[in-house]
Amino acid sequence: MSVLVNKNSKVIVQGFTGSEGSFHAQQMIEYGTNVVGGVTPGKGGQTHLDRPVFDTVKEAVEKAQADVSIIFVPPAFAADAIMEAAEAGIKVIVCITEGIPTKDMMIAKSYISTKDCRLIGPNCPGVMTAEACKVGIMPGFIFKKGTIGIVSKSGTLTYEAVDQLTRVGLGQTTAIGIGGDPIIGTNTKEAVELLMNDPETEAIVMIGEIGGSMEADAAHWIKEHGTKPVVGFIAGQTAPKGRRMGHAGAIVGGADDTAAAKMRIMRECGIHVVESPALIGETMLKALGRA
């Protein structure tokens, strides 16, 4: 079982023939992802990486039955790419692009709210179902099929969490990198809820960072509705107030969005909070009663 993507997902790459799209599409194909083609306007009818190139997402849906899209399109055009995918009927849209203007994302998020789709990102590492489907830029070799789901704002900390789990013998179901921008499609609570409702996910790692209220919102939801152990970590424990650290969404605006405040709330809601990502694996073993 998995959430969002699996071995049967029919994936297209928007920005297929560009350098980034080409490189990561090849990695996805080698992992075993069912990449059915890609979209590059003006190059429809050609083939690339032994897959068909389409002029539009609509054409890819009609001819290749695509239901998942990953976007490697420059920032100025990425919001339009998101809306095009949603309009064409794509169910899961993963946007890797970083640096999309906030105003553009406000328009795109409003537009897709009327469509039957889910957006992951932007500015994210994507979604990965272990040993089944890679839709993003996560390194596949660190993943091992198992029962732990991961939700993370940070790409590199996603990889660290996966590696920590694999090292202690705990594999993964699906890892969801939600992205670090101020405006994203799927938030922490929504991603946690997907994994909480997945029958083959027995526990969850939730990685957040300073800024905003997403982790606190997720923690309160977990306290009320959670049925599985959750191990949590917050990045940015030494960040000074008012300074953005890395992600555009990581800026502390008040007392409640510091790392210390989020960690306190998470603990109060029954989450197993770790001070360092290096402790994720062993803490998960303890939370599952296997240490």
Which residues contact residue 254 at a Cβ distance below 8 angstroms, ignoring those fewer than 6 apart? none
3-state secondary structure of 11: strand
Decide: 228 and 255 in contact? Cβ < 8 Å: no
CA distance 47 to 179: 31
24 is catalytic: no
Backbone angles phi, psi at 37, to 5 degrees: 155, -165
Tokens of 16: 């297929």
Question: Whose CA is closest to 217, among 190, 244, 181, 236?
Answer: 190
> Which is the catalytic residue, given 24, 48, 247, 272?
247
**Angle between helices 102-112 and 75-88 in degrees, nearest 10:** 0
- Beta-bridged to residue 70, according to DSSP, are 13, 94
Question: Tokens 């977990």 map to which residue?
Answer: 222
Start-end of H helices in the chain: 19-31, 57-64, 75-88, 102-112, 155-167, 188-196, 214-225, 259-268, 280-287
Q: Which residues of 91-121 are buried (b: 16+ CB within 10 A; e: fewer)?
A: bbbbbbbbebeeebbeebbeebeebebbbbb
Active site residues: 247
